[in-house]
Structure 1
């Protein structure tokens, strides 16, 4: 494809690539740049004081991955432990080991909070303004990569809980769990049914007097082998490196096939997931309504429980945990009143002890309420991005190019993962595309690459949502998110194995407009 070139004035820059964020996306990107573009001058700026992103931020009891580490870990340094599901401290330790082993620490700059990013067509560069220990710094760069995650680090998703202001006990959002908080012998209610709530329930029960997971609607919860997982044939017969590659691609492909089954055979998938959930519950425990979602699997995320820790916590002769499925009428000073339905004594159901279904209308003597009601989506970290002095870009007016760049925004890449698979393969696909576009531009001696929707594509384009989920946190962010299209290269990623192969060898110039200094 021929290049479309605009001539611009040139200027020197501080960096070739600035990466924002030292979480798993930023560290992976730094490795790819170091390996594939060794002459590039790069820097990774992190607002916090350490690497890790999510795994440095979240401190709630039992915080762990909600996808397997064989695919969530780096492709270039496979997860070295036998447990596919791991807690935050071990993931953070793994990341730091990778940084040390591959010498990535020289790119890292901590306590640098990015305030704004401004593109100059005249200079063919970005100016990145950031705050560092009370001082404002500005750096210029040819490329900017936003790897700051998808949620707001400072502000959680606002949850509408009637009467929560009346509660006289402690209210905690998991995103801001108090360090060294002693909850021993406390009666705790966790409001929510997602991965965070399901992680908290069995872990809080180790010290708390009693823990209740209060959910308005249930999620799919599937047990997966973790500690003591038997070795597979590949781990036994293949050389170590070959076994690691096989394991990563097997897990990635298997997950993709499951998602395809849910997408094209929803009734069959729902029945199969139900069998898995029922089989994992304690004997006699009521499956309905606590583990019967109203949606097809992967319309919202499926929650994994390592070795069925949630299900085990609900069993036994004297369990300390229960699940209550109900709407909240109001929170009182020391408890929660639950909503009754017309025509019945109560709409509230509770799975307790041996699994008998009990009628519950109030939760009394509550000491702690944990609002595990979701994260506030914050595309590109909420950083204002401007082009040639214009207003901050409204992302909902832009289309995603290969899930890596945005229409009419030059030399800006963003890292985003999958919602129905591990995060890292998606971020790695973007890093691969970035290095290939960078090398292509060097060969062609051009200085900018801008995705633009052509007239032909625009005429036949239909909108596709950013993250096709029905979860509340996704729905509440719809007006702030960019859009996909129905034709390549504007279509969303939806097949990790295929997407990674395409990022490595596919066409990464169609849809780009190139300019020179």
Structure 2
């Protein structure tokens, strides 16, 4: 077939004319990865592991790598799952402690990218706006925005396989409810996703609205310097204290070579998390008792635990909030942190007025109110000019989209470390690319066929950010590889035994 010039494909999609001096075109690549965070670097490593001669590129919107761990810079930002299973299987995590600080994770990602020669394949400050598939050439054409203002220009990239490692939420717009009277407040209103580097909270009264992972990691880290910190929640979340000091990990590091020790430690933590999730799902009443006992053991005897730490939902219906060495509970006990469970009536000049009639004085209000879901980084997908709406498509093997050729999406677990599934995805995509190249296939996609399939949400969480954006992500089926599970060990088994051509369509132009 005659190959269509990439600039023609871009022009037909309504992007800038190719004659514009502000538009440049990049050479064809075998694979383009969008995103240089934890998943993107993992994908690049696994791709080169199985396809050492593959010509690939990583396009990253931000000026440096790290993804989530570069975006969030509020005090205390850290992992909300153990770092040993969050880290890469192929690159040991060398610091102590089960929960890691955000900046340490970012440096680890950066170190890994440089160590394995991935960093030189990254192009920073590239915002991928459109991705167009052309069936006559079996290629993707990407419309990419570079720079801002008068320096803004567009670039065109082409590839045979496209992999999104963009996460699942909007980097630009976090979720912030509209609070009555917000304009009347004379202090500062801050969202953790856009934390100002020069924010001075020393000696000030801070009200943090929220009860999720962001709130519980932020609050203990500002409580020492602030005059007083109030954690204001509409309803309680499950919060569990995790000991930072590891005993098995140091012993294994002494006995085994670094790579073997890392594998063993990673397996231990992944197994532990899976066992806890399974136990609490199967026996929710027991799970409640165990979590409550953990909280009560770290608070004064007369503290109203059931008022502030007794959620209406069962354990793991939402993601669990982990706190290192009970730091949040220690702050409550010492009086530097106060828990308030109530509803907001409105903001006023000096703070927050609650529906109970109480007033919370504040100099700073932090709206740790959550994320806004956004699939595929907001990139507009089209196949031969027809727009693809991800929420209309089923997901296959948790990373391929129904009837969308040569495209994968890396997304982690909701009840375990992100990287456990992200790495599985990276290896699966690398295997698929290798199979296609060895057999001369130029396109591949999963096809459901004529069998009807009931749709269900991609994630089984009852979290607010999931429920308020039902159309942001693709949908899961109810059986087979079309069902998105949140069970690492069942997925790992399927990953080993499933056939690469199961429900897949392969072809050549």
TM-score by length of 2: 0.92
Q: Say whether residues 1:408 and 2:424 are aligned partners.
A: no
Contact in 2 for aligned 1:220/1:277 (Cα 8 Å): no
- The answer for the alignment partner of 1:390 in structure 2 is 386
Deviation digits for residues 227-271 of structure 1 (CA, Å, limit 9, x no counterpart): x43345544544443222111111112211211122222222222
Report the 3-state secondary structure (helix = DSSP H, G, I; strand = E; otherwise coil) of the residue aligned with 1:18. Answer: strand
- In structure 2, the CA distance between the partners of 1:29 and 1:223, relative to structure 1 (3 Å rule), is same
Equivalent residue for 2:326?
A: 308
Of 93, 99, 104, the residue aligned with 2:113 is 99
Name the Cα RMSD after superposition: 1.6
Alpha-carbon distance, 1:103 to partner: 1.3
Displacement after TM superposition at 1:63 (Å): 0.8
Q: Which moved more, 1:503-512 or 1:149-158?
A: 503-512
Show the 5 A alignment for 1:361-376: 361-364=358-361, 366-376=362-372
Which residue of the other structure, out of 304, 318, 322, is the alignment partner of 2:338? 322
Partner of 2:476: 484
Cα distance change, pair 504–109 in 1 and its aligned pair in 2 (3 A): farther
Question: What is the deviation of 1:78?
Answer: 1.9
Q: CA deviation at 1:500?
A: 3.1
**1:293: how far off?**
0.8
Task: Deviation per CA, 1:82-112: give whole Å up to 9, x if none.
Answer: 2121111111111111112111112111011
Question: Match for residue 210 of structure 1?
Answer: 228
Check whether the contact 1:157–1:374 (CA below 8 A) recurs between aligned residues.
Answer: yes
* Superposition deviation, residue 504 in structure 1: 4.5
SS at match of 1:277: helix
Partner of 2:291: 273
TM superposition shift of 1:402: 0.4
State whether residues 32 and 159 of structure 2, in contact with CA within 8 Å, keep that contact through their aligned partners in structure 1: yes
Q: Is residue 15 of structure 1 aligned with residue 29 of structure 2? A: yes
Q: Counterparts of 1:124-203 in structure 2 under 5 Å? A: 124-133=138-147, 134-203=152-221
Equivalent position of 1:335 in the other structure: 351
Is 2:414–2:486's contact at 8 Å kept on the other side of the alignment? no
What is the aligned partner in structure 2 of residue 431 from structure 1? 426
Distance in 2, matches of 1:511 and 1:174, equals 43
Instruction: Tell me if the contact between 1:282 and 1:314 (Cα under 8 Å) persists in the aligned partners.
Output: no
Structure 1 residues 363 and 15: alpha-carbon distance in aligned structure 2, compared to 1, 3 A threshold = same
Alignment: residue pair count = 483
Q: 1:316-374, CA deviations, whole angstroms, 9 ceiling, x for partnerless residues? A: 3xx2210100011111111211113xxxxx7xxxxxxxxxxxxxx1112x101000000
Aligned residue for 1:287? 305
* 1:455 match: secondary structure: coil
- In 1, Cα distance between equivalents of 2:337 and 2:104: 26
**Which shifted more, 212-221 or 159-168?**
159-168
Q: Which residue of 2 aligns with 1:358?
A: none
Listed as ranges, the matches of 1:228-247 within 5 Å are 228-232=245-249, 234-235=252-253, 237-247=255-265
Structure 1: 4+ residue segments shifted above 6 A? none
Q: Could you tell me which of 44, 47, 59 is aligned with 2:61?
A: 47
SS at match of 2:266: helix
Secondary structure in structure 2 of the residue aligned to 1:14: strand
Structure 2 CA distance for aligned equivalents of residues 282 and 243 of structure 1: 39
Tell me how far apart the structure 1 counterparts of residues 272 and 3 of structure 2 sit (CA, whole Å): 49
Contact 2:373-2:469 at 8 Å conserved across structures: yes
Q: 1:100 to 1:282 in 2, by over 3 A?
A: farther
Question: More deviation in 12-21 or 501-510?
Answer: 501-510
User: Shift of the alpha carbon at 1:10?
Assistant: 5.5
Once the two structures are superposed, the pairs formed by residues 72-87 of structure 1 within 5 Å of their partners are 72-87=86-101
Partner of 1:513: 505
SS of the residue 1:479 aligns to: coil
Unaligned runs of 5+ in 2: 6-26
Q: 1:229 & 1:255 partners in 2: Cα distance?
A: 15
Contact 2:164–2:409 under 8 Å retained in 1:
yes
TM-fit CA distance, 1:281? 2.4
Q: In structure 1, what is the Cα distance between the partners aligned to 2:166 and 2:433?
A: 21
Alignment partner, residue 417 of structure 1: 412
Which has the larger displacement, 33-42 or 157-166?
157-166
**Residue 466 of structure 1: CA displacement?**
1.0
CA contact (8 A) 1:416 1:427 kept: yes
